[in-house]
Amino acid sequence: MNAPFPAKLRGLFSPCRYKVAHGGRGSAKSWSFARALLIQAAQSPLRILCAREVQKSIKDSVHKLLGDQIQSLGLGQFFTITDTSIKGANGTEFAFAGLASHTVESIKSFEGVDIVWVEEAQTVSKKSWDTLTPTIRKPGSEIWVSFNPDLDTDPTYQRFVLNPPPGAWVVQINYNDNPWFPEELEKERVHCQFSDPKSYPNIWEGKCKSVVDGAIYADEVGNLIEQGRHRDVPYDPMLKSHVIVDLGWNDAMSIGVVQKVASELRVIRYIEDSHRTLDSYSAELRNMNLNWGTMYLPHDGAHKDFKTGMSSQQIMQNMGWTVQITPSMSIEDGIRLARMALPRTYIDRQASRLVECLKRYRRGIPQTTNEPGAPLHDEFSHGADMFRYLAINAESFSNDEWGGTLRYPSMGSYA
């Protein structure tokens, strides 16, 4: 069998629990993974699961890639290809699945798998990895992972590149490691290098992006990271610590603690959680023992809750906080202020979740117009909304008002 391989991927033929290849376009990752699986599946009967995060139909899978490689390797008589599976004459079977559609119970059907290949793994969620990994438990079973990196905070990159499991085989491979890199792709690569230099390192060199494509604060967050302003930001007891809140219950509640000196904004703490009462957040803040300034609530903080007959503003004031309501402003005007505030902002390392939200805050693109619309309301928008409120209120942050020790009357719990 004539089956050439890039030198960097010969490790696919050595036993290892985790085999991981990441890098840019044209590196022959998928081509080589498919070829290595077919060769091993022809030598021994194997159960192989080919998975990705979302698979709405077999067309979304590597089914066609495997079929093409079967013909290229001259194994057409050995493998039987159907619309939904591939089977070998020796009992080998390939199956295809989307991880996001499976639960802990439904994924148990894959317990006997010998090899699982997770393709386009940059999109796989932490939940999917936590569900899949312990399921692949057959003695000698292997998990193969191939992907083009997106953000360095993505679960796959964190799990297998930054913090790889013990004994994992992890390799970065790019177009210049592919001896059969075609002339057609070389022309595309050179064109991209000059026409889209910002995207080039990610697309062709497999480097992580600073932010997701279409991020609203793309340039500002990219500069924040490049300039080292996401770092340890120490608390200064001589400055007031102001609290910025984006209220939430089912959705996440986001709270930032910020200090200001001259025009510089320092985010020293960040809290994000859900299904917690206001008094629990207040107690968590109080335990930080900071020199408190003003708490800023969004406009709905002044609305009374029908269950308690009180507003969030009243509840927090009764707990001893000095509270102001964020001035009413359109989302787009608030975004413009946030863009102006980010170049003078420092964010503490412990507030990495806030940076993640700013990296991923983006606009929806309706299929009817294919034009960017309003910002998406998703798991990342709450932290971004909190920072927008921070920017709106930034000019009113003062180090002169009294902060003092918070008093806590007996009030019970309020939503």
Low-confidence residues of the chain, pLDDT below 50? 403-415
Residue 305 lies in a domain: yes
126 shares its domain with 22? yes
Q: Which residues pair with 143 in a beta bridge?
A: 18, 116
Residue 28 structural domain: 7-195
Residue 415 lies in a domain: no
**CATH number of the domain that residue 82 is part of:** 3.40.50.300
18 shares its domain with 147? yes
134 shares its domain with 230? no
Q: What value, to the nearest 5°, has the Cα angle with vertex 37 and ends 32 and 39?
A: 95
179 shares its domain with 315? no
Q: Cβ atoms within 10 A of the Cβ of 4, count?
A: 9
Which residues, 6+ apart, have CB-to-CB distance to 387 below 8 Å?
244, 256, 338, 341, 342, 354, 357, 358
Q: Which of 289, 199, 293 is nearest to 242 (CA)?
A: 293
pLDDT of residue 403: 44
Residue 234 lies in a domain: yes
20 shares its domain with 68? yes
181 shares its domain with 227? no
Q: Which of 5, 15, 39, 3 is nearest to 143 (CA)?
A: 15
Residue 212 lies in a domain: no
Q: Cβ atoms within 10 A of the Cβ of 140, count?
A: 8
Q: Which of 394, 412, 336, 364 is nearest to 214 (CA)?
A: 364
108 shares its domain with 70? yes
16 shares its domain with 156? yes
282 shares its domain with 350? yes
CA 28, CA 178: separation in Å to the nearest integer? 6
Residue 315 lies in a domain: yes
Which residues, 6+ apart, have CB-to-CB distance to 253 below 8 Å?
245, 246, 247, 271, 272, 273, 274, 276, 281, 382
167 shares its domain with 66? yes
Residue 13 lies in a domain: yes
8 Å CB contact between 252 and 336: no
If residue 18 lies in a helix (H) or strand (E), which one and from where to where? Answer: strand 18-22
Q: Which of 253, 302, 242, 301 is nearest to 277 (CA)?
A: 253
Residue 413 lies in a domain: no
Which residues, 6+ apart, have CB-to-CB distance to 201 below 8 Å?
207
* Number of domains comprising the chain: 2
Residue 409 lies in a domain: no
User: 77-80 — which CB contacts under 8 Å span 24+ positions?
Assistant: 78/42, 79/38, 79/42
pLDDT of residue 1: 62
pLDDT of residue 248: 92
61 shares its domain with 190? yes
Alpha helices in 93-216 (DSSP H): 126-132, 155-157, 183-195, 200-205
8 Å CB contact between 386 and 244: yes
pLDDT of residue 271: 98
**238-281 residue pLDDT tens:** 999 999 999 999 889 999 999 999 999 999 999 999 999 999 99
pLDDT of residue 398: 92
Q: Which of 349, 335, 353 is nearest to 390 (CA)?
A: 335
CA 256, CA 78: separation in Å to the nearest integer? 61
CA 217, CA 208: separation in Å to the nearest integer? 17
324 shares its domain with 190? no
The phi and psi torsions of 346 (rounded to 5 degrees) equal: -115, 135
pLDDT of residue 111: 86
**CATH number of the domain that residue 365 is part of:** 3.30.420.280
